Amino acid sequence: MIQPTTAEHRRRPSALLAGVFALVILFAADLASAVDHELQRRIERIIREADIGGAAVGVHILDLQTGRTLSAVDPTASFIPASNMKLLTTGAAIASLGPEYQFTTRLYRSGDRLVLQGSGDPSFADPALLAMREPPMSTDDLLEAIAKAAAKAEIGAVRELVVDDRVFDREMVHPLWPSDQLDRHYCAAVGGVNIHRNVLEFFFSPGAGDGALARYAMQPESPWLTSSVEIRARTVTEGGNRLGVIRNLTRNQFQLIGSVRTGGQSARVALHDVPLYAGQLMADRLRNAGVRLESGAVRLAEEDEHLPSDRVLAIVTTPIGEIISICNKDSVNLYAEALLKRLAHETTGKPGSWHDGAAVMRMIVTDRLGPAAAAKLAVSDGSGLSRANTVTPDLMTAWLASMHSDRRLVGSFLASIPTVGEGTLRRRFQEVRVRNEVRAKSGTISGVRCLSGYIIDPQTGRTLAFSVLVNELPNRAGMGLNALRLHEQIVAEADRWLTQRRVAEVERPESIGG
C-alpha cells in the first residue's frame, strides 16, 4: 500500500531470543528405543521398494505432542535441501524481524534530486501480489500511482533520479548458482531495490504470415530497451508455440527465439542490474506523469553519498507475512534471498550480503536449537538454489518444532506453508490420499527432491513434523516422479499413524468403562 508517511520500522534480534524455547529432541543414540517400530518398518519398506536408482534418502518424523521420534532413516546425514531451505530462511526472518515487520520502498525529494530508496523488498511491483489486492492492481497501476503522487506534489523540475539500493551489497547473483541458467526467472538477481520479481515478461504474437518475424510486447513496458531486443522467433502455421528469451549475461540485451503460431503466451527472463533498471522504469513513468528530469539521468547512489529527505512523495509497504507466504507457497527464490540479506543488514547494520546472512542464520539456529543442531547446518544462500546448502532430516524437524512451539510466530509461519492443492503442492497427493491437514514445502533441483512440513489432526490439533530428503537421484527418466511418490507414501504412512492414534484415544475410555 502507498502511505504518506516517513516512518520505517527497524528491529534488531531480541538478544537472540535466549532461553525462550525448551525443545526435547531425540538424537541417533536414542532412536532404537524411541521409534514406533511398525511405522519404521513400513517406511523402510517404502524406501527399499522405491525405484529411485540407489538415491540417498533421509527421513525424520517427530511427534510434537510428546517430542518422540516416530521414524528415522539416516536422520543425522547431511543432505542438499533445495527449496526446503526456505523453511529455515522464512522462519529465521520472522523470528528476528518480527511477524509485524514491514518492508518499505520510498520516493522522496533530496535537494534537486529524486531518490528511489529500497529496503530490499522483493515484492515491490510484483504483479502476482498486486493482483491479490482489493481492488486488484497491475505493475503499471502502482508505478503510475507513485508518479502521479510526485506530479501532484508540484515539485517542479529535478535534475536526476538516484536509486538508493545500499541496504544490500551489489553482489546480486550468487557465485554458486548454475552459471548456465543465470538469465532464467528463478535465478533473478537480488537488489536493494527490486521490481516486478526482477524479470521482464515477453508476450508473443504471430507476424504477418508463415515465416515472418514474430511480434512481441514486454511487461513492464520499457521503451528504452526496444533497441536491445533482437527478434529471431518466427511465425509458423503448423505445430505449437515454442518460445524462449535469452539474455546477454553482462547487460540487458535480449534474443527472442522459437516459433509462434498463436498469441497469448509469454516467456520470462531475469534482468541485469536490477536497481538501475528499476530507476529507469520509475523515471519513465515520472516523465509520463509530467515530472521533469532536467538531465534525464538515472544513477545508483554512491557508497558514502548523503541523501537527506526534504519531502516524501510516496511510500509503498509490504508486510512480512505476505513475503513469507509467497516465498513458501510459490517458492520464489528472489523472496528468500531478500529475506536472508535483510536479516544480515538488520543484525550488522552493513549492506546485507549472503556471507553475513549465512552467519546470522546459523546464529538464530544456535539460539533456538543449540550449537549441536547448528553444527548440522551449512548455509550458502536463502532459497536452496545453491548446492552448498546442507541440512539433516532431524535438524529440519527440530526447526519445524521450534516454530510450532512459538506462539508469537506459529500463526504466520504455518499460514505461509502450502497445503495440499495449493502453491507448489497444487498437483501433489493426487494418487496418495491423506486424511489430516498436510502443510509442506517441496524442494527440487537436479538430483534432489525434498519435502518437509507438518501433518496436523484437524480435530485434536496433534501435529507431526516430518522431513523426507532425497539426494543423488540418477539423471534417468522417471526418477524424479518416483522420488515424489516416495515422499507421498511416507507422508501417507505418518498420516495413517496420526489418524489411528486419534481413533484409539476416542475409543479407549469406552473400553476401560466396559
Per-residue pLDDT tens digits of the chain, which is 514 residues long: 444 333 333 333 333 333 333 343 434 334 434 789 999 999 999 999 999 999 999 999 999 999 999 999 999 999 999 999 999 999 999 999 999 999 999 999 999 999 999 999 999 999 999 999 888 999 999 999 999 999 999 888 899 999 999 999 999 999 999 999 999 999 999 999 999 999 999 999 999 999 999 999 999 999 999 999 999 999 999 988 999 999 999 999 999 999 999 988 999 999 999 999 999 999 999 999 999 898 889 999 999 999 999 999 999 999 999 999 999 999 999 999 999 999 999 999 999 999 999 999 999 999 999 999 999 999 999 999 999 999 999 999 999 999 999 999 999 999 999 999 999 999 999 999 999 999 999 999 999 999 999 999 999 999 999 999 999 999 999 999 999 999 999 999 999 999 999 887 766 554 433 3
Q: Are residues 469 and 492 in the same domain?
A: yes
Instruction: Quote the pLDDT of residue 508.
Output: 59
Report pLDDT for 10. Answer: 33
Residue 344 identity (one-letter amino acid): A
Same domain for 128 and 79: no
Sheet architecture: strand order including 448-456: 68-73, 56-63, 463-471, 448-456, 437-445
Residue 70 shares a structural domain with residue 131:
no
Give domain status of residue 66, yes or no: yes
Burial class (CB in 10 A: 0-12, 13-18, 19+), 313: buried
**Residues 299, 333: one domain?**
no
User: Is 272 part of any domain?
Assistant: yes
Helix then strand then coil, in percent of the chain rounded to 5, is: 35, 25, 40
Domain assignment present for residue 49? The answer is: yes
Same domain, 308 and 354: no
Q: Tell me the C-alpha distance between 231 and 254, whole Å.
A: 8
Q: Which of 286, 319, 352 is the last residue of a domain?
A: 319
Same domain, 214 and 349: no
Q: How many domains does the chain have?
A: 2
Q: Is the CB of residue 327 less than 8 Å from the CB of residue 89?
A: yes
**Dihedral sign computed on CA atoms, order 103, 107, 111, 112:** positive
Domain boundary among 268, 295, 319: 319
Helices H / strands E in the chain, number of each: 13, 17
Q: Are residue 84 and residue 224 in the same domain, yes or no?
A: no
Q: Is the preceding peptide bond at 371 cis, omega within 30 degrees of 0?
A: no
3-state secondary structure of 189: coil
User: Is 280 in the same domain as 332?
Assistant: no
Contact between residue 415 and residue 325 where contact means Cβ atoms under 8 Å apart: yes
Whether 137 is covered by a domain: the verdict is yes
Residues 219 and 205 in one domain: yes
Residues 6+ apart with CB under 8 A from 251: 228, 272, 273
Whole-Å CA distances, 6 to 104, 117, 312: 10, 12, 7
Q: What is the pLDDT of residue 33?
A: 46
Same domain, 125 and 164: yes
CA distances to 10, 503, 504, 505, 514 from 511, rounded to whole Å, are 57, 12, 10, 10, 5
Whether 153 and 233 share a structural domain: yes
pLDDT at 296: 80
Q: State residue 134's pLDDT score.
A: 87
- Say what angle helices 320-329 and 333-348 make with each other, to 10 degrees: 140
Among left, alpha and beta (phi > 0; psi -120 to 50; other), residue 478 is: left
Q: Please give the Cα distance from 330 to 312 (Å, whole number).
A: 33
What are the distances in angstroms from CA 247 to CA 183, 256, 272? Answer: 6, 9, 9
Considering the domain boundaries, does residue 10 fall inside one?
no
Handedness of CA 446, 447, 453, 456 (dihedral sign): positive
Q: What CATH number is attached to the domain comprising 415?
A: 3.40.710.10
Whole-number pLDDT of residue 507: 64
Chosen domain end from 263, 289, 319: 319
Identify the domain containing residue 215 by its residue range: 102-319
> Which residue has cell 546477454?
248
Which pLDDT belongs to residue 287? 94
Burial of 24 (0-12, 13-18, 19+ CB in 10 A): exposed
pLDDT of residue 34: 72
Strand partners, 466: 61, 453
Q: pTM score, two decimals?
A: 0.91
Residue linked to cell 522464512: 90
User: Do 202 and 218 meet the contact criterion of CB atoms below 8 Å apart?
Assistant: yes
Concatenated DSSP letters for 232-267? --EE-SSS--EEEEEE-TTSS-EEEEEEESSSS-EE
> Which pLDDT score, from 0 to 100, does residue 509 have?
52
Distance of CA 7 to the CA centre of its chain: 26
pLDDT at 412: 97
